Structure 1
Amino acid sequence: MKSTLLGLLLAGSIINPAYATTMNNSEDYSENNINQEKFRVYVEANNKSAKSVLKSQYSIRWELTENGFSTDMNEKQFEALQKNKNVTVTKVPVVTLDTIDLEKDNMIESKKSDFAITARASQQIPWGIKAIYNNSTLTSTSGGSGINIAVLDTGANTTHTDLVNNVEQCKDFTTATTPTNNSCTDKNGHGTHVAGTALADGGSDKSGVYGVAPAADLWAYKVLNDKGSGYSDDIAAAIRHAADQSTSTGTKTIISMSLGSSGNDSLISSAVNYAYSKGVLVVAAAGNSGYSEGTIGYPGALTNAIAVAALENVQQNGTYRVANYSSRGYGSTDGDYVIQQGDIEISAPGSSVYSTWYNGGYNTISGTSMATPHVSGLAAKIWAENPSWSHTQLRSNLQTRAKTVDIKGGYGATTGDDYASGFGFARVQ
């Protein structure tokens, strides 16, 4: 069962995010529960006729391939279907949560007292926002108008004072066979935090926190439950839906995913490729399995996704430092400035990031999860200023900006394109 798991880059208020490698049997999707009850599978028929017959026998969840669909079934049904020569049936991987205390492991320099949930904003412009704007005296942010940022996560508190003005879509992909409109409740915090970093506008009274692109539109897509668990088909469905919505509305969209897996899941990777083919820019967390080489997770490791590494608010060798926990690419591809599978592309602030929280307040957490929305927000800001650009032109511009701010701090970080920081730190200016 462990071989099918996906790890979520998810964090709590004091315990920081890490990459999951094991399943906790106390979670909703424990192996014991799966054996006793129904579980998710993907059914792939060898022709349309066989698919039609199977669809009449099962409740369809998502049709993600021409002759395939996901559904729920018990172990007896699964074993019976495995004997059908006209069908390939596989269990859908589960995204689950496993965290480590990065402070305990000496991976970040901070005190637990720094990680306090507050009802009112104690910071308006967090360090990462100042860094990406390259302005230490910044008092507000701007930009992103007309650009959608689809945050695929644990949902979002769409009534939060710093987010409510930006919400355009709120959908739940975890509870029904079609997206549930106007439902994306976040009782975890992770999704709300990510959304805030990307586009929080300080609230109507401008006393709250600011994100990178406060004029961007939020598409809050809940793909994980409140414990941070979910199925890869739900995530894949949300990716495809965001791409289709972008096409149907004639707008430009950035998908921001602060989640990932140690293995390349075909449903998610196919969905990423689909979205990219539709002109959507895909930004994903690199993972928190560093600092060894070859630890970048999926979908960040895909060539059609921008993998984001996490920077600390620490100076080393004259630059910000890549966090130890931030996943790395391969040293063999250093210096080529070409994105291959498993490469870091861009670095952004990820440690001790202050942002919006699910209870209407604010919280400070760390991880490549937090670095990702910095890049998503930056992309929205740049795209709004250059609406004629394609997503590939936008990506090229982000790479150019990153090259001008070389990162030389942290394990594996060195001059030029490297396996720790990628092209560098892309900024507003």
Structure 2
Amino acid sequence: MFPVDLPAVEDGEMTSASEEYLSCLEAGPRDDEWLQLSQTSKVAVTLTHMRRLQLFEDERPDCTLLALHPPEDPTRVAALYLHGKWWRVDDVLRTSSNSRVGLISVRSLVERVIVFLLSRVVERSSQEKLLFSLHPRTESCKLLWRDGQAVGFYTIKHKGSRCDGWSGRGYLLPALDTLLVRSSWRRRGLGLQMLDDFCSSFSTEQFLGISSPLSPGMVAVCRSFLQQHQEHLEHLYEVEAPGDWTQRRNIWLSIRLGRYSLGIKEEPEETQRNQDESSLKPPAGRGDATSATSCGANAYPATGSSGQQVEACDPGRGGSSPSSTMSSAHAEDLDSGPRTRPPASLSAKQSLESNPPPSAEAEEAQSAAKTPLTPQKLLDFPLCPVLNTTC
């Protein structure tokens, strides 16, 4: 059996067990203990090879994990201390239960440990900074299980849930916040499966969001999904928290107008990659960047006593795929009531105005612009083969 299959533990139990174990090591010398990482490598279980990792975003009481790293690289994670013993990272991500198949809601603490490993440890290279933020303790998540292992996850900001712990603002629509598929499991349609599951889970909602900015891989997933599910063309929006109408733009409309043309990849990378620095920039006319307020978690690298970032000891893994959370571009009083919905053609007209036609065709284009463009109508527009823009 693996840690996720063992009886559930509480936050305090896991933290106290780690502290007791450290106290025993500090109390006096003991026989050398080694953990076999592979057929060719092992690591000594000593205080000099251990670090504490924070599991959730800045909350009290703290919930920490005890991690073991190889002596040659203190920034890597080789194993975690769970249920009174050391487990290799690869084993923490596995299950012996035949019932763990497909997308399953995260409920236990060890399942949240798995989300932590996927988002901040397993899929990060040594040259790459951490772009995933720590998830809140109560964040809604779903893990994707295949062949006895966790291969991906996505997180949700529910309608009405608070954006942060101090402003009192709440999300105005459900939003898919982060999504990740492990690099070795990509190009198999798993990103599409998770996006479909998200939309199906909120089938009674008129509008659904995906946190801004969309990564190139996520744009490709959305494009494939909307081509297959035209009933969602008018309903899926890229949003900034809390999701007022001034903070939304229709994803299909943006794709057809070429707003993502330089970032779309032909094959979906299946990672929603939302970098904190770019998502905190306010829109024009809303103040400078210093006045922006984050509705997601800030990026806190997992550190030990020396403040070093931590990555997985997983030499067999592929590329990296970090992510982060959705952020609000500016503070706004939402107590005055919801805004009225703008006309469906608003974003299309703005795009046409920012890219005016040649003067010789100005009169003809002006007449054509009077016809409202909607995501459904734009479905019939052909894509230019190079720039993926409407011809």
Decide: shared fold, TM above 0.5. no
Q: TM-score normalized by structure 1?
A: 0.27
| TM-score using structure 2 length | 0.29
